[in-house]
Chain A
Amino acid sequence: MTVMTKKPQSAVDHLTPEDIEAIGRELDAIRQSVMETRGEKDAAYIRRVIKTQRYLELGSRAILLASAFPPAWIVGTAGLSVAKILDNMEIGHNIMHGQWDWMRDPKIHSTVWEWDNASTSEGWKHSHNELHHTYTNIIGKDNDLGYGIMRVDEDQRWTPATLLQPVYNFVNMLIFEYGIAAYDLELGRNLRLPKDKRPADFASNVSKTLRKIRKQATKDYVVHPLMAFPLGAAVPTLLANLTANVVRNVWTHSVIMCGHFPEGVETYEKAAIDPNETRGEWYLRQMLGSANISGSKAMHIMTGNLSHQIEHHLWPDLPSNRYAEVAPQVRAIFDKYGLRYHSASLPAQVYSAWHKVFRLALPNNWMATTKPSNLPSQLKVLWKMTRGSRAQRRKLQEQLDLEAAYQG
């Protein structure tokens, strides 16, 4: 998606500043109605989810002790995968957002919660809660847009290495928890800097993350396999942990891709954001910069209610169990102001996000201008863009853009 301000027809041109402020007020009223009614039922909900997750993990690990017996391996691995997903999504992510801080339970609090993941909760809270949620979809400020390794927007520069991004994305999907840990450390950027130019806390954050990774690996790949060793199930248990971690990685990666990458989600250019952006304008950016996943209640829980990505981005601190009830009200505001509420099924959103990853692996408009008949010449263009100088690349890009404009 091209940044919104460069599009011929912006999605928000029809809104007056008064409309935008009215949207802000209406959304604030919805938030307030939920915040005022948080209570016993909500507290019971999160405790029930945590308890379920703990029992599920414990039960699955117990079953895995007998994983020399294949059916036990399947059941235990499936249970452990679900337990890890619940821990990361509905529990960890949401508690770290402070959704449950109002309970004043010092154990279920954003300041102390730690999760079953390679990235430290502190690192995550910084890169996710502060940067991503504040500067959502602003190119150059929100590193979630491609995590610094991918091109997910026309306005991000194309380089020959971009051609490989479907591969990066696939690998990142498999090892997503480590990807996040590296991303929280801004590893790519910081490693390029000379040592003395790196942020003061970089080294200590790296060692904290390494400690966390070692702790996680010891638990999953040493302690539990050793416990199963007397029953002859050390290797199956190790494989079960590995599988559960990969399943969790693939699932979380897919859900998270659906939040902001599907086609049609708006992005923004740094320069176009007013430094004094009003609450209404910020809300509007969140409304158009996120996409929802439709599905059943179980599906919402397994995504940590990130299936209600739009509602989550409007109010990251709203208890997750309440997003479903506000979603119709939010949608009504979209309809009232003629905005697009981006919602589709999981397969549709995953497809759309992957489609974008492939489409943007190629230069802008290359796919749009390619037909079976001109494939050989188009491939030649692509080859030249890959091998040629930067100037040549720019020229060829201009040609592609012209061609596309002519077609359109």
Chain B
Amino acid sequence: MLDLFHPLRKGAELRARIVAVRAETEDAATIELKPGKDWAGHVPGQYIRIGIDVDGRRHWRAYSLTHGPRADRHISITVKAVPGGVVSPFLVHQARPGTMVHLEQAAGEFVLPEDPAAHPKLLFVTAGSGITPVIGMLRNLYPATDSGVLHARDGLRDITVVHLAPSEPQTIFRENLTALGAAGAIRLIPRYDDQHGQFDVALLAELVPDLAERVTYACGPHGLLDALEAHHAERGLELFTEQFRVGAVEPGEGGTVSIGGHTLEVDGATPILDAAEEAGLLMPSGCRMGICMGCIQPLKEGAVRDLRTGDVTVALPGETPVDGVPIQTCISAAAGACTIEHKERVR
């Protein structure tokens, strides 16, 4: 009831109000948020999960925080609109100040050690929107004043940034990075696909001569991180990585269903309820025709298909709710491998 009047109060479910949306590039924007009273703060490099209603449905996504802690307690994320996506185009092009979003406390291990002496020489390798956690760290280390002059908070770190982007105009935070480079805070090595061609990790040693002395923090797509891991392992270099998307779920026909400690092979036409019962699991059930909602179980990961309509429901850890996406097991068939929590019905 109090939510009607003061949604950001202490003790309320954590939410945030969008206070500003600023375009960064044509297809990226920074969203400034005022979190509720219970917001516990964050360390630069960490990310948050936000839940937002798009076309009536709630979607959850993870985004890096692109600022250090601020005096006004606001937080910001920078979002690149993924073509064909649901949430990112909405945030970039349609979200307006005043919109309420759901929020989880900051999380993530991709942070710098508190003691600057622990890693005095750093290398950041970032690609595309992989710059977002790193810009949060850099802005925190070198707060920019309104006049654009940079003041290093500590002069103890020596930082090189290798940033990869498709082209210069498509680079998020281009001005920030250039300014940081110009002020001597960082050594910026931009690599644009359209100018320099596809990046190859083998070039790293050439671009960063003192690579061996540096600890590397990398954030970007799979391919880059895998290549970096191999590259660094071979040379015995320290590497910390951050990756947002664990990869999309491609719905198929049937698959392996993990439920209540059982692993079942289920075809694409059998309701998960039937398969689980066949395997001896005690499943909550009701009408067995998709109307009573008595058989709902949380899908934690994977994809299921509604046998009536063919609609696919996907659960992707990190994007869908932590508690899972509730599915009706009596009319859902496996559409690929999936993990379902087995809950006794509360009755």
- Which A residues fall within an 8 A CB radius of B? 28, 32, 35, 38-44, 51, 54-55, 58, 96-98, 101-106, 109-111, 122-123, 125-126, 129-130, 133-134, 201, 205, 279, 282, 315-317
Contact assessment for B56 and A43 in the assembled complex, using a CB-CB cutoff below 8 Å: yes
Q: What's the least CB distance linking B299 to chain A, in Å?
A: 11
Complex Cα distance, B347 from A58, in Å, reads 31
8 A Cβ contacts from B129-160 to A: none
Residue of B whose beta carbon sits closest to that of A50: B4
Residue of A whose beta carbon sits closest to that of B308: A28
Contacts of A109 on B, CB cut-off 8 Å?
326
Residue total for B at the interface (Cβ-Cβ under 8 A): 28
Contact assessment for A102 and B57 in the assembled complex, using a CB-CB cutoff below 8 Å: yes
Given contact pairs A129-B292, A130-B292, A43 touches B287 in the complex (Cβ within 8 A) = no
- B53 at the binding interface (Cβ < 8 Å): yes
Given contact pairs A54-B4, A55-B4, A102-B57, A130 touches B296 in the complex (Cβ within 8 A) = no
- B321 at the binding interface (Cβ < 8 Å): yes
Complex Cα distance, B289 from A279, in Å, reads 9
Complex Cα distance, B1 from A97, in Å, reads 23
A51-B4, A126-B286, A315-B291 are known contacts; what are 4 more A-B pairs with Cβ within 8 Å? A96-B293, A102-B57, A282-B289, A317-B291
| Residues of B contacting A: mostly | loop
Contact assessment for A129 and B58 in the assembled complex, using a CB-CB cutoff below 8 Å: no
Residue of A whose beta carbon sits closest to that of B343: A111
Given contact pairs A101-B326, A317-B293, A126 touches B347 in the complex (Cβ within 8 A) = yes
Contacts of A55 on B, CB cut-off 8 Å?
4
Given contact pairs A51-B4, A106-B321, A125 touches B53 in the complex (Cβ within 8 A) = no
Residue of B whose beta carbon sits closest to that of A208: B347
Q: What's the least CB distance linking B313 to chain A, in Å?
A: 10
Complex Cα distance, B56 from A57, in Å, reads 26
Contact assessment for B58 and A122 in the assembled complex, using a CB-CB cutoff below 8 Å: no
Contacts of A134 on B, CB cut-off 8 Å?
286-287, 289, 291-292
Contact assessment for A103 and B291 in the assembled complex, using a CB-CB cutoff below 8 Å: no
Contact assessment for A54 and B1 in the assembled complex, using a CB-CB cutoff below 8 Å: yes
Contact assessment for A317 and B290 in the assembled complex, using a CB-CB cutoff below 8 Å: yes
Q: What's the least CB distance linking B297 to chain A, in Å?
A: 10
Complex Cα distance, B246 from A180, in Å, reads 48
Contact assessment for B293 and A110 in the assembled complex, using a CB-CB cutoff below 8 Å: yes
- 29 A-B pairs with CB atoms under 8 Å apart are A28-B308, A40-B56, A42-B56, A43-B57, A54-B4, A58-B1, A97-B291, A97-B293, A98-B328, A102-B57, A104-B58, A104-B59, A105-B58, A109-B326, A110-B293, A111-B326, A125-B293, A126-B294, A129-B291, A129-B292, A130-B287, A133-B287, A134-B286, A134-B287, A134-B289, A201-B347, A316-B292, A317-B291, A317-B293
Contact assessment for B58 and A103 in the assembled complex, using a CB-CB cutoff below 8 Å: yes
Contacts of B287 on A, CB cut-off 8 Å?
129-130, 133-134
Contact assessment for B321 and A104 in the assembled complex, using a CB-CB cutoff below 8 Å: yes
Contacts of A96 on B, CB cut-off 8 Å?
293
Contact assessment for B1 and A101 in the assembled complex, using a CB-CB cutoff below 8 Å: no
Contacts of B55 on A, CB cut-off 8 Å?
39-40, 43
Contacts of B325 on A, CB cut-off 8 Å?
104
Contact of A103 (CB < 8 Å), options: B53, B290, B328, B346? B53
Q: What's the least CB distance linking B7 to chain A, in Å?
A: 12
Q: Nearest 8 pairs between A and B by C-beta? A: A43-B56, A129-B292, A98-B293, A130-B286, A134-B287, A104-B58, A39-B55, A130-B292
Contact of B294 (CB < 8 Å), options: A103, A125, A282? A125
Contact assessment for A125 and B326 in the assembled complex, using a CB-CB cutoff below 8 Å: no
Complex Cα distance, B293 from A102, in Å, reads 12
Complex Cα distance, B59 from A40, in Å, reads 13
Contact assessment for A130 and B294 in the assembled complex, using a CB-CB cutoff below 8 Å: yes
Q: What's the least CB distance linking A34 to chain B, in Å?
A: 11
Contacts of A42 on B, CB cut-off 8 Å?
56
Q: What's the least CB distance linking B58 to chain A, in Å?
A: 4
- B250 at the binding interface (Cβ < 8 Å): no
Interface bits B38-58 vs A (CB < 8 Å: 1, else 0): 000000000000000101111
Complex Cα distance, B325 from A51, in Å, reads 25
Q: What's the least CB distance linking A61 to chain B, in Å?
A: 11
Contact assessment for B292 and A125 in the assembled complex, using a CB-CB cutoff below 8 Å: yes
Q: What's the least CB distance linking A305 to chain B, in Å?
A: 16
Complex Cα distance, B4 from A58, in Å, reads 11
Contact assessment for A38 and B56 in the assembled complex, using a CB-CB cutoff below 8 Å: yes
Contact assessment for B53 and A43 in the assembled complex, using a CB-CB cutoff below 8 Å: yes
- B309 at the binding interface (Cβ < 8 Å): yes
Complex Cα distance, B57 from A44, in Å, reads 11
- B175 at the binding interface (Cβ < 8 Å): no
Contacts of B1 on A, CB cut-off 8 Å?
54, 58
Q: What's the least CB distance linking B327 to chain A, in Å?
A: 10
Contacts of B294 on A, CB cut-off 8 Å?
125-126, 129-130
Residue of A whose beta carbon sits closest to that of B60: A104
Contacts of A205 on B, CB cut-off 8 Å?
347
Contacts of A106 on B, CB cut-off 8 Å?
321, 323
Contact assessment for B296 and A32 in the assembled complex, using a CB-CB cutoff below 8 Å: no
Q: What's the least CB distance linking B2 to chain A, in Å?
A: 10
Complex Cα distance, B327 from A104, in Å, reads 11
Complex Cα distance, B286 from A104, in Å, reads 21
